[in-house]
Amino acid sequence: MTTPGRGLHGHVLDTLGPEITAGEYPPGSVLRTDELAQRFDVSRSVMREAVRVLESMHLVESRRRVGVTVRPTSEWNVYDPQVIRWRLAGKDRARQLRSLTVLRSAIEPVAAGLAARHATADQCAELTQCALGMVANSRGHKLEEYLVHDMAFHRVVLDASGNEMFARLGDVVAEVLAGRTHHDVMFEDPDPAAVTLHVQVAEAVRAGDAVRAEELTREITVGALQELDILAP
């Protein structure tokens, strides 16, 4: 993703991060830097760098004379893309997908409304292209091709909103969509109604109809929520 495994400390994080976020060390657990360094066969300097990163994500807290203690889940920086990825790869992937889908349902409609006001001509064109790509791959088990356009569509909407905080959720939404396609559901073709909604959103944004863009996007996200409810009511 963001060039993983860069350097030794990166390799340590690739293992230790998922372990912690998966809850293998319950909150309050104490780790010792020296032991970890031994375990991963790296020097203490490298291990310290890894701990610093975990600390900046609020996953752990390092205190003298006591060690590196795992913080409670409620304090983690759950918006850190790295943390999101670790958790999506872990045990409670389902719960995580639900949380993120609810987040989508709050953000994306508002973002679409803003996009209708602020989108450039280029962005409108790109949006239409994405929607067309979704239509073109909506039948015949071309899920991967569909997914690519779906992810691009939502990313463009978030970017076009002109709000930096929304724009930075593009990666998260992409992960959620990818997760849905690859692991959970979606054995068949996507819901035709959803495809239509995407086309209509593209049109509403192009027409500058903020209210309509927002409402249509809300329908899309409601659909995504219902999809999860059907799977795990």
Partner DNA sequence: CGGAGACAAAAAGTCAGACTTATTCATCAC
Partner DNA sequence: GTGATGAATAAGTCTGACTTTTTGTCTCCG
Residues in contact with its own copies by the rule CB under 8 A = 2, 9, 45, 48-50, 52-53, 55-58, 73-74, 76-82, 99-100, 102-103, 105-107, 109-111, 114, 163-168
- Considering just the CA atoms, what is the radius of gyration of the chain in Å? 21
Which tokens hold the place of 95?
């719960």
Q: Strand ranges (DSSP E) for the chain?
A: 30-31, 60-63, 67-70
Q: Quick one: 171 or 184, whose CB is closer to its own copies? A: 171
3 state DSSP class of 69: strand
Q: Choose, by CB under 7 A, the member of 4, 19, 32, 185 that binds DNA.
A: 32
CA distance 111 to 125: 17
Q: Choose, by CB under 7 A, the member of 13, 16, 51, 172 that binds DNA.
A: 51
- Name residue, tokens 């088990």: 141
120: phi > 0 → left, psi -120 to 50 → alpha, else beta; which?
beta
- Name residue, tokens 């949006």: 127
Which of its own copies, DNA, none is residue 65 near (CB under 5 to 8 Å by kind)? DNA
In the sheet with 67-70, reading across from the earlier edge strand, the strands are 30-31, 67-70, 60-63
Examine residue 45 and tell whether it contacts DNA (CB under 7 A): yes
Which of its own copies, DNA, none is residue 20 near (CB under 5 to 8 Å by kind)? none
78 backbone dihedrals φ, ψ, rounded to 5°: -70, -5
Q: Quick one: 31 or 169, whose CB is closer to DNA? A: 31
User: Contact at 8 Å (CB) between 127 and 205?
Assistant: yes
Stretches 3-11, 20-28, 132-140, 162-170: which one binds DNA (CB under 7 A)? 3-11
Q: Note the Cα 36 to chain centre separation in Å.
A: 29
User: Contact at 8 Å (CB) between 119 and 160?
Assistant: yes
Q: Quick one: 51 or 112, whose CB is closer to DNA? A: 51
Stretches 16-24, 56-64, 106-114, 125-133: which one binds DNA (CB under 7 A)? 56-64
Stretches 31-39, 75-83, 110-118, 202-210: which one binds DNA (CB under 7 A)? 31-39
Q: Quick one: 33 or 163, whose CB is closer to DNA? A: 33
Q: How far is the CB of 52 from DNA (least distance, A)?
A: 8
Q: Quick one: 65 or 164, whose CB is closer to DNA? A: 65
Question: Which residues of this chain interact with DNA, rule CB under 7 A?
Answer: 6-9, 31-34, 41-46, 48-49, 51, 62-68
